[in-house]
Amino acid sequence: MAPPSLHPDGVLYQAVGVNRIHKPDDLAGFIVRRLVELGLREPLQPKEFTGRRKKHPPCLESISRGVDEQIRDAAALALARHYLIQAYEPAEVLWLLQEWDKKTSRH
Inter-residue long-range contacts of 91-98, CB under 8 Å, 24+ positions, other chains counted: 91/44, 91/45, 91/47, 92/47, 92/49, 94/28, 94/31, 94/32, 94/44, 95/44, 95/46, 95/47, 97/27, 97/28, 97/31, 98/28, 98/46
- Helix ranges (H only) for 1-107 are 27-37, 58-64, 72-85, 90-104
Nearest to 78 by CA among 56, 96, 60: 60
DSSP state of 31: H
Range of the domain at 91: 54-107
Q: Could you give the percent of the chain with pLDDT greater than 70?
A: 73
Residue 63 lies in a domain: yes
Task: Please state whether the predicted TM-score (pTM) of the whole model is above 0.75.
Answer: no
User: What DSSP designation does 87 have?
Assistant: T
* pLDDT tier, 53 (very low <50, low <70, confident <90, very high otherwise): low
Domain tally, the chain: 1
Residue 19 covered by a domain: no
Residue 43 within any structural domain of the chain? no
Residues 77/70/98/12 CA torsion (nearest 10 deg): 30
For residue range 81-93, what is the model confidence (pLDDT) as tens digits?
Answer: 888 887 788 888 8
Residue 29, in any domain of the structure = no
What is the distance between the alpha carbons of residues 33 and 66, in angstroms, rounded to a whole number?
25
